[in-house]
Structure 1
């Protein structure tokens, strides 16, 4: 079980004592399906390729590039607002420049870091993160960014 999950797990022995014994029931007749019977399988909707990819997974980020080298000195804290995740450094930089044009009212005067992340089963992605001074600063920044029409989340 994942440490982040919440809830109570009852051992099987305790569950067996808590539930009354049930009488066996005759098995239901299963609907027979031959190999020739067509099945309808719903397809997952495809995300447009020009959209940033939101990928969740266990990663060990390595900083690989920065839009502005001075950002490390001015960015300060370990909290940031993530606004994009792309499969290449170039597309991450291009994405940030586009988002900066669209949401200049929020991103004006701020720099972005490109952070490499290896995601199991998905490959390498480059995350566009805007550094913040604190967690609250990152939350306020993301709230303003969303109010302007952007999509983001706070990350450490």
Structure 2
């Protein structure tokens, strides 16, 4: 199995395959709009705008597993757009841990262990995926996206 075998849904329910991102560098993030790390949307959007022409994509996946998300994916995405100017793709609200975790997050956590094991400990865990669909690195909630811009640049060269 590869990341490209996984289907996801946008905030409006449109389903698509991650296969469309073959050849691109991805930063996949579990997000929440009522979290102390929510200002990271500014960094995420800045990186997306700066490198999207170089085949870099940020993918946001709201999760309410930590009880810090609004009730609908559409409302979450709208708040991100209005407050932080987010233009990168936002998706349906998903579970990131447990038996009901979305297949994408099961895959990501199986490929890159966190500090205290596989599970995602909090919102804004970030997974950097290379052009071949390999999980290169996992970043914790406290890691500001701009702090690992150099690692993104290396993959884009």
Same fold (TM over 0.5): no
| Greater percentage in helix | 2
TM-score of the aligned structures, taking structure 2 as reference length:
0.28
Relative to the length of structure 1, the TM-score reads 0.28
Task: Tell me which of the two structures has the higher relative contact order, counting C-alpha pairs closer than 8 angstroms and 6 or more residues apart.
Answer: 2
